[in-house]
Amino acid sequence: MNIDEKIKRELEQDNSDFDAILIDDEGLFERASGIFKGGMKRWMIVISLFMIIIGSLAVWAGYRFYVANEMKEQIFWGVCFILGIMVQGFAKQFVIEEANRISIMREIKRVEISVVKLTEKITTS
């Protein structure tokens, strides 16, 4: 039997295992809380606090823009508001990319384990 045929047969047999993995796939809240575990835990806490502060400042700048009487003040607070929203967006993008990185690393580990199991099955048969 060809090695390709053996691999194909083993992969077809592992479909039930794959379905079990998909059922156990984590949801949004598990992925979001997953960024607070691991090596980047401290950075994620700092960035989350930073996002709360910047978001609060952006809301405050938006309020100050709304109540400003002079055009100069409106321009200043409007620019502060826009910059606050942009900085918060960049920080959120970083957090989302970190969550995706963690998810991809988990999937790579699963594939490595599957390849090791498949290799062991092929070598024993």
pLDDT (tens digit, 9 = 90+) per residue, 36-79?
A: 887 888 988 999 999 999 999 999 999 999 999 999 999 999 99
Question: Taking 90 as the threshold, does the pLDDT of residue 26 lie above it?
Answer: no
Mean pLDDT of 24-33: 71
The one-letter code for the residue type at 65 is F
Which pLDDT belongs to residue 15?
64
A 10 A CB-CB count for 11 gives 12
Q: Tell me how far apart the alpha carbons of residues 81 and 54 are, in angstroms, rounded to a whole number.
A: 10
The rounded distance, in Å, linking the Cα atoms of 37 and 19 is: 26
- Which tokens in the block code for residue 105? 């690393």
Distance of CA 95 to the CA centre of its chain: 6
pLDDT digits (tens, 9 = 90+) for 7-22: 777 777 766 566 665 5
Structure tokens at 119: 């290799």
Report in angstroms the alpha-carbon separations of 11 from 3, 17, 102, 115, 119: 12, 10, 25, 10, 12
